Amino acid sequence: MIRLIFLFVVLGAGLFVGTQYAGQQGYILISIANKTIEMSVTTLVIFVIGALAALFALEFIVKKFFYMSFTTWNWFSIRKQRRSRRYTNQGIIKLLEGDWKQAEKKVTRWASHHDMPLLCYLVASEAANGMGDREKRDRYLEMAAKQENATLAVELTRAKQQISDGDYDKATQTLTTLQRQHPNNTIILNLLKQAYLQQKEWAPLLELLPKLVKAKRLTEQEAEKLTLTAQCGALESIASQKGTEGLLAHWNGLARKLKAEPALVNALIQQLIKRKADNEAFTLIKENLKKQATPELYALIPELNISDRYPAIVMLKDAVKKNDSNAEAHSALGQLYFREQEWKLAQEHLEKALSLRSSVSDYAYLADALQHQNMTHAAHDVTRKALSLLETN
């Protein structure tokens, strides 16, 4: 448009000058080496205008040619890109359906023409992982890593695959590195939770749980349940590493709310019993039975290896006196009487416990108590009941 306006201006100026100097065309002589060119001013003006018009026309034709070439090339490129997207979409569906081979084939066929090859290589890697081809899986991940802005997506995919392989050490390393760069990424946090649980890394898991609750990846109830699991696991780890003293020191450092959890109290007592700290365990049982008389605590009493069983027997007799329907107290008392070779008393309390609920262990103790009283037939009947209970379970 500007060029056309320029030509019209030049033509207008030429016409104006031509009318002003009509009959006075002037004379122009151009001498180049041994050649001379003569023409009037009017001829020169016409020649210049014609040359400009020809130049503009040539420019237009060249641009039109290149534009058509670009349009044609762009059309083919867009066509390839659309086909690549279509194949990639089909490949993703195949991946979700579990057709790994077709998924890999479709996403890699036109990956070089896709506007986001990263997606193609990641899907191909997951497909290869599904087929169990680790070498091909890792090669696709390397190809994906070469794309722009690929680090997070590639490393998350790698971590998921490491977890699926059961390689939790490598997964933890991968995710820990990612977490430093993306501390609030919920996928990273959730994958770390899985890795920590499998590795029994209780301390970092406990640090992670509040973040998962804040990110709404865990409910408060789920977090509390996992906290108890982690704390019980931590008790076992500390007991194996630091012994009874370290275990009790750790317990004393816990919050009062945690120390009131029956599951955690039971875990502590079991660890003490394993390490032959039976007197400390018995003290804890007595203290906690005063606060909350749970069946699990009564069930732990017969496991204690204490030289003097009398205090435990007195405590259990008081418990069944207060509540004759306390099956676990009757069971524990019957087992203690059994160890004291008080066969009749053992029989009475074991039978009472079994009348309240079934227990293979109590049936076995009762059969032995009857056998010691030469009640062979009754002992056989009890044994048959125990066997039938085992078959039912």
Neighbouring residues of 234: CB distance < 8 A, sequence distance ≥ 6: 202, 203, 206, 250
Mean pLDDT of 115-131: 91
User: Look-up: residue for tokens 């066929």?
Assistant: 109
Please, are residues 42 and 27 in contact by the beta-carbon 8 Å criterion?
Answer: no
- Residue-range domain boundaries for the chain: 219-300, 308-393
Share of the chain above pLDDT 90, in %: 62
Per-residue pLDDT at 75:
45
- Helix 202-214 to helix 186-199 angle (10° resolution) is 150
Per-residue pLDDT at 365:
93
- pLDDT tens digit string along 172-204? 999 999 999 999 899 999 999 999 999 999 999
- pLDDT tens digit string along 70-86? 555 554 456 666 787 88
* CATH code of the domain occupying 308-393: 1.25.40.10
From CA 313, how far away is CA 303, in angstroms rounded?
13
Residue 341, SS3? coil
- pLDDT tens digit string along 337-348? 999 999 999 999
Residue scoring higher pLDDT (32 or 206): 206
Helices (H) and strands (E) in the chain, counts: 19, 2
pTM for this predicted structure: 0.71
From CA 135, how far away is CA 142, in angstroms rounded?
11
